[in-house]
Amino acid sequence: MHEVIICEKPSSAEKIAKALSPSAKKKVYNKKVKYWELKRDSKDITVLSGVGHLYSLIPKENRYSVSFNLHWVPSYEASKSSSYTRNYLRAIKKFGQDADSYIHACDYDVEGTLIGYNALKFACGEDSLKKASRMKFSTLTKKDIIDAYENRMDIDMHQVDNGIARHILDYYFGMNISIALSNSVRKTKHRFLKLSVGRVQTPTLSILVNREKEIREFVPEPYWVIKAILDFEGIEIKHVKGNIFDRELAEEIFNKCDGKDAVVDKIEITNSKTKPPVPFNLSGLQAEAYNVFGFSPKRTQVAAQNLYSAGYTSYPRTSSQKLPESLGFDSIFKQLSANHEFKKHIDQLPSKLKPNNGKKEDAAHPPIHPTGILPSKLNSDEQKIYDLIVYRFIAVFFDAAKFETMKTTLDIEGEKFKFSRRRVTYKGWMEHYPFKKIDDERFPDVKEGDVMSVKELISEEKETKPPARYNQASLIKELEKKNLGTKATRADIIDKLYDRKYIEGTKIEVNTLGEHLIDTLNTYCNNLTSEKLTRSLELKLEDINTDKTTKESVVGEGEKEVKEILGDINKNMEGIGSKLYEAYQEGNIVGECSCGGRLVKRKGRYGSFVGCTNYPDCNVTYSLPRNSRILKTKCEKCGLPMISTGKGKNLQRMCLDPNCGKDNVAVKVHEPEVVGECPQCGKPLLKRSGRFGEFIGCKGFPKCKFTCSVDELESKLK
């Protein structure tokens, strides 16, 4: 009997092979692809692996034109960037055909199910599906793998249909509409401009554009805060009205209280509790990793996936916040106790282990949790995420933290002021979660009727602030709240917006092209930017899983919507093409030419260059070295932008104009600005520029990988 097991990634294949047989033998195909052979239950088993998706959708006709007639082809045929999949697919075809039975052992979610299904159908032959069963596991521990192998189930065809429908809709909304928009520029302006839109990507960009406009259109309103500094312990008290938007009232209160003493009117002591946190799902882990370490959601997701693949933590792409007892909490804690630091907290766990579960559930997988297997070797990112997962897992079993709050009201000439203090009476879970800062304040020794001398009375004028820009973590939360995208795709969607140069910075700003793209789509075909349409399709895709609708119905509805959008683009081709090209031009303006025109970054036959918009009347051009970046800083002598070339120690900065006096020689950029001392290794912290804007990094990199955002620096150093 010959059995073939298809896995999603090489690391999973190794874990599964070794779990099923300690004597599993590693083989290598074509000097590149590892696979495994073993014996179990009198079967000869071959464990084969993909590297994610091995098949992609392309049109049956010309792939560079709009099409609704798609078919699956090997990914390396669809894209040169997927050439690395070729040998994996060849290995599956060579060793995976004509077996007596097949096991689908890819990750148990929609994407994983589709990956394995396509590998079986197209590489092993359609007959393989008739002899196939499915393993379902949430961790790659030996126990869970063997349990999944011995309790196999049928392949969930609803998940398969969901995955197929998603890929088809993503092509319809992504490729078809992107091609149509690019064609509108080509036919109107006779220029090629590669534009990118998507079913979830475009509504996400629309959310960011709307926030950008709110900030721009915000009109600040002045207000006043009346506060006093007491002569006793420098206590600051504030008027109970808080923000006072009436200048005359603020002046009246100030004049009335100026030079007067304060009398303690009332002291109220209250007790409160703060419940333990809930277990991590993916978005919760991403948000916490951003708040604690400044990690982007994508960076967190990669580290969490690596930990899962190594068997140290459970499957990360989950929505669940409810830990089932079947995980075996005692067993996990017993294994974790081999680590001295973890043991100090585990030894104090209550005798009855009851987690503080959240509201969200996921039928496929439990929350993210440690398996109990302690890591042997992790990189810096993985270690931080692992510690975060372990301490969160420990913390959810402890009691609530208890606090006592002192609210004090004071009277100054009939005007009420207040201050409050909060102190910890019982640390509870907070003592076991080192990433949570505990605010423990001392209560001042005051009692009702005390007369307090006022050292200084202050009337502070302020202005209301516009809404805050999204960061990557808060945008993930917004997408989750609006039910846009999935837990597995949201980080990739944000990453794609950065890659397309529509957005930039850690506090996300939309650039000219991104904003004009949304404005143009809203003007001519706003269904594409509609959250409602995207959310509706997302819910219907989920309904495929529960047999409430069919793949054909959802794809048909999506095709109808896309054809309407394409019709709008065709009717308004000239307007769309002109506006998008103008936006592209505006977004590439780097300065002003001496002739009065604008200097614009362009691409030519021999690479990128900067040229004047008044060409051919003005033929001013500046070539750009390969892999150079145009900086926001200007040359002190001529006012043109500075450019940078090289990386790391070879980073150089020079004027755009190579003939600009002293700046025609590249200036080597030495050490960036020192802004403090690294809290982890003590070496200098440097302000650096990265893909998402400025950030703080340790000079000890790569040995020390401490990073944080510029805004978080002060809190990190405390």
SS3 category, 437: coil
In the three-class reduction of DSSP (H, G, I as helix; E, B as strand; rest coil), residue 22 is classed as: coil
Q: How would you classify residue 190: left for phi > 0, otherwise alpha for psi between -120 and 50, otherwise beta?
A: left
Distance between CA atoms of 264 and 104, rounded to whole angstroms? 72
**Distance separating alpha carbons of residues 460 and 610, to the nearest angstrom:** 49
Q: Token digits for 237? A: 């008290």
Alpha carbon of 67 to those of 17, 54, 76, 583, 645: distances in Å?
42, 22, 20, 27, 41
Those residues with Cβ within 8 angstroms of residue 507's Cβ, 6 or more apart along the chain or in another chain: 468, 469, 470, 471, 693, 711
637-667 pLDDT per residue, tens: 888 888 888 776 677 888 888 888 554 554 4
pLDDT in tens, 126-156: 999 999 999 999 999 999 999 999 999 999 9
Residue 478 backbone dihedrals phi, psi, to 5 degrees: -65, -40
Cα–Cα nearest to 427, from 352, 340, 345: 345
Count Cβ atoms below 10 Å from residue 390 Cβ, excluding itself.
23
Report residue 70 as tokens: 């798609």
Cα 28 to Cα 25, 34, 53, 671: the distances in Å are: 10, 4, 21, 46
Strands across the sheet containing 707-709? 674-677, 684-690, 693-698, 707-709
How buried is 224 (Cβ within 10 angstroms: 0-12 exposed, 13-18 middle, 19+ buried)?
buried
**Dist CA 447 CA 264 (whole Å):** 7
- Alpha-carbon distance of 453 to 446, in angstroms, equals 13
- What is the model's pTM? 0.84
Residues 6+ apart with CB under 8 A from 582: 516
pLDDT digits (tens, 9 = 90+) for 518-538: 999 999 987 889 899 999 999
Distance, in Å, from the CA atom of 223 to the CA atom of 463, rounded to the nearest integer, reads 6
Residue 548 — φ and ψ, nearest 5°?
-85, -20
Q: How many angstroms separate the CA atoms of 707 and 320, rounded? A: 29
Residues 106 and 523: their CA atoms lie apart, in Å, by 43
- pLDDT for 217-252, tens place per residue? 999 999 999 999 999 999 999 999 999 999 999 999
Mean pLDDT by 10 residues, the chain (718 residues): 96 96 94 94 95 95 90 95 94 95 96 96 96 96 96 97 96 94 89 88 96 95 96 95 96 96 96 96 95 93 95 95 95 96 96 94 94 93 97 97 96 96 96 90 94 95 95 94 90 92 91 91 87 93 95 96 94 91 82 85 81 84 83 82 77 83 48 68 72 70 72 59
Is 622 noted as a catalytic residue in this protein?
A: no
Please enumerate in sequence order all residues whose Cβ is within 8 A of that of 481, keeping only pairs 6 or more positions apart, or say none. none
Q: Which pLDDT belongs to residue 671?
A: 47
pLDDT for position 673: 66
User: 76, 171, 315, 502: which one is catalytic?
Assistant: 315
| Predicted pLDDT at 715 | 57
The residue among 242, 200, 210 whose CA lies nearest residue 223 is 242
Between CA 56 and CA 170, with CA 125 as vertex, the angle to 5 degrees is 20
